[in-house]
Structure formats: structure tokens, C-alpha cells
């Protein structure tokens, strides 16, 4: 049986079921849908290691994200002009 765990996406706790998520899946968790025709998205994850040090990583379209308990992810969207 898989164990669910919690990550924080845009300040909101989200329970996730698997470890690997696509960029589009994370955007959908953050906003409820993924609209690449009208919007552009950026994503940054932050995770503390065993020593309490924060490590950040930027993601872009096409990336996959390995989720970890307590990971914080900020997803921003901007309208294309």
C-alpha cells in the first residue's frame, strides 16, 4: 500500500499519493487546471535537509518533480500578452 504524504503548494497543504509529478500536474494541484494557451507558469521548490539548510530549485515546462514530505512549492502564473 502506498503512503500518502503532505506537501505545501502556494501555502496550502496538499496530500499527494505518488512521488513523481509532472510540471503540468503540479500546476493543476495549485490552480485546479493547466492553461498553456493563455498563461505562462514558473515554479520553485524549497526543501530543508537534515541539517535544517534550505535548498531551492527552479522548474520549467517539461520537468518532473520528485515530491518529498514537507516540500514547499510556489507556482506563479502570468497572462501571456
> Could you tell me whether strands 39-48 and 54-59 are parallel, antiparallel, or unpaired per DSSP bridges?
antiparallel
Q: In this model, does residue 7 exceed pLDDT 80?
A: yes
Q: Which of 31, 33, 5 is nearest to 18 (CA)?
A: 5
**What global pTM score does this model have?**
0.85
Query: Domain spans of the chain?
Result: 5-76
pLDDT band at 1 (very low <50, low <70, confident <90, very high): low
pLDDT confidence of residue 32: 92
Alpha helices in the chain (DSSP H): 23-31
Distance between CA atoms of residues 28 and 53, nearest Å: 29
Distance between CA atoms of residues 5 and 51, nearest Å: 21
How does pLDDT run across 15-65, given as a tens digit for each residue? 999 999 999 999 999 999 988 788 899 999 999 877 888 899 999 999 999
Amino acid at each position: 500500500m502506498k503512503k500518502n504524504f503532505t506537501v505545501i503548494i502556494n501555502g496550502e497543504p496538499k496530500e499527494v499519493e505518488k512521488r513523481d509529478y509532472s510540471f503540468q500536474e503540479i500546476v493543476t494541484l495549485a490552480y485546479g487546471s493547466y492553461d498553456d494557451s493563455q498563461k505562462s507558469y514558473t515554479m520553485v521548490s524549497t526543501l530543508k535537509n537534515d541539517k535544517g539548510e534550505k535548498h531551492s530549485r527552479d522548474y520549467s515546462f517539461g520537468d518532473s518533480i520528485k515530491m518529498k514530505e514537507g516540500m514547499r512549492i510556489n507556482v506563479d502564473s502570468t497572462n501571456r500578452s
